[in-house]
Chain A
């Protein structure tokens, strides 16, 4: 189908063509327009939990990752109001967990950190929770550091949908919500997780870490040290016009 035959909606005043079935964020990224996001991953069914991709569609707030694209929709995204709200969401995530970037192996490759850079977050602002979340170092090749979990559910989704294992799960509600390992002992060593699992690859922060490679790429030469996440996300987005299936 020719691009000009496609229906379209407006994003910050620019026309975005879409294939029916695409969400607003899929169509935007495909067309080369960045909408900040955190729990959205192009290969997975959207979860819509982090709310960082919140836009205003015909004046109403909605998560761009779950909102189906519709012809004639007027979507606002890159506005001071929405970026302020996104900044606050990122700040709350930083205050809620234990995010000590200087001692984190994921630093420079972390989406939460990169979003903070891009949105100009200079401080968490709120009172830090400093929660007690012991690490799980039981597995010989994989470390689990729960201190940095942002409950995006990507590892849960990847382990279930791609790896067919269900190694991870979220439990508890509200402020008690936390990530657990689906084993009777609760230890990662007692699961069938493997280094080749998709679940390892998708963690946007530094929870699921491969052991023995921590600083193979030095701090300062990592993914988001080189380019801001807004540029990187467009490179990663699927370029074809068809929506992704399966």
Chain B
């Protein structure tokens, strides 16, 4: 571990990786950021488990048991946990199934959808079980900061990261808080 660097972990749960793409959209500011931080578990490093970190950033809500486990691992290990993007903050698009019965959803997708032949509902023991509803992160663990947006803009993500790295309370101004 490099001396004095802020350790950051990220993960995408029930998300589309759009927020991670937006994080990469901070472009050359990444160089500035990488002088101050180093990555722990993230899709960029391919480290599988999160160790003790200063900042954890989570994209996506919780739609299955594995999402909940990863989220709890982050909460245990990260001093500051950030919900990044609409799905992490509100459940987002995946949560649009929340008013439907899960059994009916699975049955429509895997059994009764026109064009399916010998369909079956996946039941491999290695597959994490889906939750009956998709939950925003704050319904499962304590979340310290929320960044709405689908995805949040690179400028909003940069502002939040720059504030956190500098030890300030992150704040977004008009034009940076977007829910869409």
List chain A positions with a Cβ less than 8 A from chain B: 94, 98-104, 107-108, 113, 116-118, 120-125, 127-128, 130-133, 219, 225, 228
Question: Closest residue to B176 on the A side, CB-wise?
Answer: A117
The 0/1 profile, CB within 8 Å of A marked 1, for residues 96-128 of chain B is: 101100000000000000000000000000000
B contact residues, total (Cβ < 8 Å): 29
Across-interface contacts of A122 in B (CB, < 8 A) = 89, 145-148, 172, 177
Contact pick for B178, options A117, A127, A130, CB 8 Å: A117
Does A100 contact B96, Cβ atoms closer than 8 Å?
yes
With A99-B90, A102-B179 given, can you name 14 additional A-B contacts, CB distance below 8 Å?
A: A100-B92, A100-B95, A101-B150, A103-B96, A108-B180, A113-B180, A117-B177, A122-B177, A123-B89, A123-B143, A123-B146, A127-B139, A128-B139, A132-B99
Among B90, B93, B136: residue with most chain A CB under 10 A: B90
Question: Could you tell me the distance between the alpha carbons of A107 and B179 in the complex, rounded to whole angstroms?
Answer: 8
A36 to chain B, nearest CB (A): 14
The 3 closest A-B pairs by CB, nearest first: A102-B150, A101-B179, A130-B98
Question: A143–B98 Cα gap in the complex (Å)?
Answer: 22
Contact call A120/B93, Cβ cutoff below 8 A: no
Q: Which residue of A lies closest to B148 (CB)?
A: A122
Q: Which residues of B contact A131 (CB under 8 A)?
A: 99
Chain A residues positioned under 8 Å from B175 (CB to CB)? 225
**B92 and A123 within 8 A (CB):** no
CB-CB under 8 A from A118, the residues of chain B are 174
CB neighbours of B143 from chain A (8 A): 123
